[in-house]
Amino acid sequence: MPKEEKYGPILLETSVKEEWIDFNGHMNMAYYIVLFDQAMTNFLEDIDLGSHYTKENGKSIFALENHVTYQHELKQDDPICVHFQLLDMDSKFIHCFMRLFHGQSAILSATMEQISLHVNMDTRMPARFAQSKMDILRQTVEKHKIYGIPREMGRSIAIRKPKTNL
């Protein structure tokens, strides 16, 4: 299992379930996002921005954009772990990066970069974080800087065409 010191805290450990396997004999792409979502939920719970926060304060975190890379297939019963890194934040947004590894071989299987928004559940509009929450998020960003900038961060998607001489 990859060490926290290199990739951020492990926020989810499980194994690939039989029902997650598709007709190609590996974990279906949708379940990678389910696992990343669970890791994000665990992070939010850890910093008191999870379900209790939503019930008590009427605010929540909505995903706005995800970028997933699939790098190595996973098969049934493979152990997996998800590392989490908070990259940036401001008064309304959270920018994070997650890595999903095979839990024994430590091979990187997938990554997900995500931008999330703090939302008022009554108005369904963006809402500023309370100063106390901003302080926690800012401290976490600073703490997570030791993990560096992920190689996959900020990638665009395109078919790369060879350059032709004119």
Residue ranges per domain, the chain? 7-147
Residue 158 has pLDDT above 90, yes or no: no
In this prediction, residue 97 carries a pLDDT of 98
Pairing of strands 108-120, 93-102: antiparallel
Token pair 């790098």: residue: 71
Confidence grade of residue 46 (pLDDT, cut at 50, 70, 90) = very high
- Reported in sequence order, the residue ranges of 5-161 that DSSP labels E, i.e. its strands, are 10-15, 59-70, 79-89, 93-102, 108-120, 125-126
Q: Per mean pLDDT, which range of 1-10, 51-60, 69-78, 149-158 is the poorest?
A: 1-10
Cα 79 from Cα 1, distance rounded (Å): 9
Confidence grade of residue 29 (pLDDT, cut at 50, 70, 90) = very high
Q: Which CATH architecture has domain 7-147?
A: Roll (3.10)
Sign, CA torsion 68/72/76/81:
negative
